[in-house]
Amino acid sequence: MQFTDILGQEQALHILCQAISHHQVAHAYLFNGPEGVGKKKTALALAQYLNCEQPDEQLNSCGTCPSCLQAASGNYPDLFLVEPDGTTIKIEQIRSLLNKLSLRSYAGGYQVVIIDQAHTMTEQAANCLLKTLEEPPANTVFFLITSQSAMLPITIISRCQQLQFHPLAPEIIRQVLQAKYPEKQSRIGLVTALAKGSLYTAEEILNNEDFTQARTDFYDLLGRLRELSPADILLWCEQWDKNRKMVAVLLELSQLWYHDTLLLATAKKQNLLINQDYLAALQQVKLTPAQALQILEACQTAIRQLESNATPRLTLSVLLLKIQTILKEV
């Protein structure tokens, strides 16, 4: 992994590269930002760079020394990765890590520790790590990676240099997907619109076989929404009980659907539609621009509610019932 492989995080990379060129790499970094935007890749790039035998002046690893070759095969030398065991990172995991760090017969180079989803550390685990962050071992760099830094104890945060990672621009996501999945071109526009700046989410949706079926079913439902009874709607929503991820996608899909109908109703710009493959069905949706705007606001509210932990099924069914009411106000 090279720094040049990391896209769209210029600010964070600039700060890191400045630190490297001034030989001021911190002993602990906290990378905060959405999932799937390059936080772990950046930590891996730095891990490779720090152990490369012949890095160049542009801060690239050589790619050919034994250490780089190992990294290329996924076996980074002196890299310790800690991830949640179940839903949390436990004190035993941190103890075992610290043990390994202290046992290692040190022969030059850097030890790099990546604690992924650091916010899932239990209180005991965080306290155990804190002692080490206060008196860090030499030539060791800790990367705490999180999408929810507010959940970390302030004592931990204050021991780390914080770097913020941002959602990726749609253009970057589109480019990466187009290069990596040329056979899935027709869905890339839609997936990019759903990914909210996360390459991880984009790839997950693109490669999820259930997604295509769920989208077909959902758009079929939206097409018939006016005729359905509230009981039908509630029944349909039952299948998504507790499926937070999929409901989040459905809420986004409903937003894209009504955004497309608004485009059709106002600008008649077919080439701007996200759901190009549903043109005929979209043209059947009869609603005024004012109604479409009202529905889009309802979608936004539902998305916010789900993000602040509302029940998935309830959020989805309330939204659909609300849309139905708006559609009937003609």
* Shortest reach from residue 115's CB to Zn ion, in Å: 25
Q: Is 72 in the site for Zn ion (CB under 5 A)?
A: no
CA atoms within 13 Å, Cβ hemisphere of 103: 6
Q: How many positions of this chain bind Zn ion (CB under 5 A)?
A: 5
Residue 112, beta-bridge partner list: 79, 141
Task: Pick the closer one to Zn ion by CB: 68 or 190.
Answer: 68
**Quick count: other Cβ atoms within 10 Å of Cβ 112?**
23
Q: Does 62 bind Zn ion (CB under 5 A)?
A: yes
Q: Tell which one of 61, 93, 146, 275 touches Zn ion (CB under 5 A).
A: 61
Instruction: Print the binding letters for residues 213-252 with Zn ion: x by CB under 5 A, - otherwise.
Output: ----------------------------------------
Tokens for 188? 């890339």
| Strands laid side by side in the 79-82 sheet | 79-82, 111-116, 140-146, 28-32, 161-164
Beta strands in 63-204 (DSSP E): 79-82, 111-116, 140-146, 161-164
How far apart are the C-alpha atoms of 100 and 89, rounded to whole Å?
17
In the bound complex, what is the minimum distance in angstroms from residue 66's beta carbon to Zn ion? 8
- The gap between the terminal CA atoms of the chain, to the nearest Å, is 57
The one among 1, 45, 68, 172 contacting Zn ion by CB under 5 A? 68
Report the relative pairing of strands 161-164 and 140-146 from DSSP bridges. unpaired
Contact 131/94 with Cβ under 8 angstroms?
no
109 or 137, CB closer to Zn ion?
Answer: 109
Q: Which of residues 40-59 bind Zn ion (CB under 5 A)?
A: 52
> CB 53 → Zn ion: shortest distance, Å?
5
Which part of the chain contacts Zn ion (CB under 5 A), choosing from 66-74, 120-128, 162-170, 223-231? 66-74
**Which stretches of the chain bind Zn ion, using CB under 5 A?**
52, 61-62, 65, 68
